[in-house]
Chain A
């Protein structure tokens, strides 16, 4: 078992893809660093915190990117964002079997806030254009910093999201909500509450994530391989069906105070036990109950 959570972005990519198949574009030796961090007296990284390249997954050609949460929380700056957009546009040219995004990001990098926000918007447009052209985009989310901010929106533009229990997916971080609205609204230090609200298990049950796996790079790899045949569908029929699902979610759960209420409403017995279960046991316990 190799923990996805503990691994660096680089380690994740190399272990996820077929051995020896990964080739990096704009590697650290190119030193394409952020020009904005130096004027704020902040250290830069040689790859600006994101690795992009090509490789093979189960023998099939893929383009892949991995964000390094350890560098500025994986947040998106000008160069970082441009590397991701370039990869997505390359995918339109090359039509690989899929694009894999190993996301770990707090969203927009405040030191380059405007460039980061526009970069995220360009990523969003590029994902939508790429999927419209028939290439699937898969998101893997299982790192310490989760997938928040603009990247939380971008992730949900993709074909599927694979999460571990450790992963988190949302828009505003719990700390931001607590600072703005008070601890009664969201106690960001209540880890159990945080994970019930934005963690992998809840997202899987709600239908925001498509697969829930153990914190193991092999498990992530297997889930990604299983999703390789997914066909992007942005048709009116598909979006109308999604609209109905999202409508049902608001109607069924709009008055729920806590994820436990939602899990109960889904017909799960002893929902309070779910956070204690390992991935296999969890999936068995909730089989047929996802929203």
Chain B
């Protein structure tokens, strides 16, 4: 689904969005009032400029529209791989975006993430995974790395990885794996505007992904181990 079709389905009452290269932003009209939209298209690689631009938008929303919910619609192939981005500190720019979103959260802005196309690795970490809850379309492509590349780096035979990924959701690409692991709350199908309205009704809850990962059987240890460290004697 391309971004314009997505926006029309999310905001049947209308939206006002500007596209500028890989970046788009604007507002959508909903029963909850205006929703701020920050997004990207064409599986944008996230480099210093795009991370910086998104952060600037978040700050502007916090300053000019207190309390307005923020919808992240980021389509990304991951971080931009370049010496220049490393030289300039891309990790710092992504962290800055994350801090700006935390500021928004601390000031009562709801942050909803919807993976509508691709979400990969560092790009995913610096966008949709920063939302209060991350959702996805059924056709979303979510991963850290494809299996052939993983096989080359880990030296584990590709056939073994492919075999294991049939029964384990722990490393292979796929939005259902991320559902099972608790990273994605649910898939949005059908009436997207209704799904968005429900998402905007969710009260603040902290980070519940470990609980979901355990309930769904994708991460059987994370919640319990974190809990053990939190409450360990001494």
Classify A-B as touching or not with yes or no (CB < 8 A).
yes
Q: Which residue of A lies closest to B222 (CB)?
A: A82
* B44 → chain A closest CB, angstroms: 16
Residues of B within 8 A of A36 (CB): 168, 170-171
Q: Are B122 and A149 in contact, CB atoms less than 8 angstroms apart? A: yes
Q: Are A86 and B228 in contact (CB under 8 A)?
A: yes
What is the 8 Å Cβ interface bit string for chain B, positions 95-139, against chain A (1 contact, 0 not)? 110111011001000000000000001101110011000000000
Q: Beyond A121-B129, A197-B83, A197-B87, is A113–B95 a contact (Cβ under 8 Å)?
A: no
A39 at interface (Cβ–Cβ under 8 A)? Answer: yes
Report yes or no: A243 in contact with B145, Cβ–Cβ below 8 A. Answer: no
Interface size, chain B (Cβ < 8 Å): 77
0/1 interface trace, chain B 122-164, chain A, CB 8 Å (1 if under)? 1011100110000000000001110000100110100010001
Q: Nearest Cβ in chain B — how far from A67, in angstroms?
A: 15
A 150-169 binary contact with B (CB < 8 Å = 1; else 0): 10111111000000000001
Most buried by B among A23, A32, A125, A197: A125
CB pair B230–A86 under 8 Å, yes or no, is: yes
Contact for B99 among A35, A41, A115, A157, CB less than 8 A: A157
Interface residues of B in 193-234 (CB under 8 A from A): 206-207, 209-210, 213, 218-232, 234
Question: B30 at the A/B interface (Cβ < 8 Å)?
Answer: no
B90 CB within 8 Å of chain A:
yes
Residue B166, interface by CB 8 Å: no
CB-CB contacts of A75-112 with B at 8 A, as 1s and 0s? Answer: 00011011101110110010000000000000010111
| Beta-carbon contact of B91 and A124 below 8 Å | no
- Interface residues of A: mostly helix, strand, loop or mixed? helix
Give the number of residue pairs across the A-B interface with Cβ within 8 Å: 251
B5 within 8 A of A: no
Tell which of A1-9, A216-224, A233-241, A264-272 binds the partner.
Answer: A233-241
- The answer to whether A54 touches B230, judged by C-beta atoms less than 8 angstroms apart, is no
| Neighbour of A82 across the interface among B48, B103, B226, CB < 8 A | B226
Q: A150 to B129: give the CA distance in the assembly, Å.
A: 12
Q: How far is the CB of A243 from chain B (nearest CB, A)?
A: 6
Which residues of B are at the interface with A, using a C-beta cutoff of 8 A? 48-49, 52, 55-56, 59, 62-63, 79, 81-83, 85-96, 98-100, 102-103, 106, 121-122, 124-126, 129-130, 143-145, 150, 153-154, 156, 160, 164, 168-172, 177-178, 181-183, 206-207, 209-210, 213, 218-232, 234
> 27 A–B contact pairs at CB < 8 A?
A26-B232, A41-B156, A82-B224, A85-B210, A86-B227, A86-B230, A111-B154, A112-B171, A113-B170, A114-B218, A115-B170, A115-B219, A116-B144, A117-B125, A118-B129, A128-B99, A129-B207, A156-B92, A169-B91, A170-B89, A171-B79, A208-B89, A234-B106, A240-B59, A243-B56, A246-B55, A247-B52
- In the complex, given contacts A86-B229, A197-B87, A208-B92, what are 9 additional A-B residue pairs having Cβ atoms less than 8 angstroms apart? A26-B225, A85-B210, A117-B121, A121-B130, A206-B89, A234-B99, A242-B96, A243-B59, A256-B87
